Amino acid sequence: MSRDLLVAGLDRTPYEEALTLQRGLAEARIQGRLPTDVLLLVEHPPVVTLGRSFKPEHLSTQPEELARRGVDLFEIERGGDVTFHGPGQLVGYPIYDLREHRRDLHWFLRGIEGGLIAALRHLGVEADRDPRYTGVWVAGRKIASIGIHVKQWVTWHGFALNVTTDLSFFDLIVPCGIPGVVMTSVQRVLGDGAGRDIWTRTLDAVVQGFGDEFGQVAQAADVEALRGLLQPPDR
């Protein structure tokens, strides 16, 4: 089992840049040039992404209107339907080699849910699962969405946890293709108790939650060293 977890904080990064990085790291993990699991933690400018299960009727807003509002649009290889990423949302991309854990995608998805539920508990938010859907919920409202891709048992894409997100952006879509779903955030649940440091506390809680859930020791990654893995090794 992979006991080490490199955690890389990318701050606010355009979606396409983060997508290129995670695809490259996944390939490096497949090839053995990246010896440990990695968790990328990032915040994106506004973007809507369409997964493999996307249905056109779940994009409530025309692409031209999204562009006018400054919201990018990407079709990607992850599972799931349509979702939104934007400021105030903590997005995590776990680059895991499941051959070093369990070759079981359902186990991995439940593990991501469990890590987020543990993280939210650290923040004073009681969250749980909905047996009908992937993701994390608080009192019937969705607080985190999950969608992954896997190649040769190496994963990328991941989760989006609403922390201080402007929830009105979700009106642009049918989130995760679930009609009538209501989104929430850590800030919305905690209200005045969230505090100004809620972003930093959420980052720390998620790292702790993932480490506990997957039995790993988290350590800070050298982001530039990770970027260097995107280049093929010298021959």
Radius of gyration of the chain (CA): 17
- CA pair distance 117, 136, nearest whole angstrom: 7
- Asked if residues 120 and 208 have their Cβ atoms less than 8 Å apart, the reply is no
Contacts for 137 with CB less than 8 Å, ≥ 6 apart: 127, 128, 129, 130, 143
Angstrom CA distances, 227 to 40, 159, 233, stand at 12, 21, 13
Helix (H) or strand (E) holding 219: strand 217-220
Most distant CA pair in the chain, distance: 57
- CA pair distance 20, 38, nearest whole angstrom: 15
Catalytic member of 119, 143, 163, 176: 176
The tokens 């186990």 sit on which residue? 107
Q: Which two tokens stand for residue 59?
A: 């994009």
The tokens 């409530």 sit on which residue? 60
Q: Can 176 be counted among the known catalytic residues?
A: yes
Q: Which residues are catalytic?
A: 176
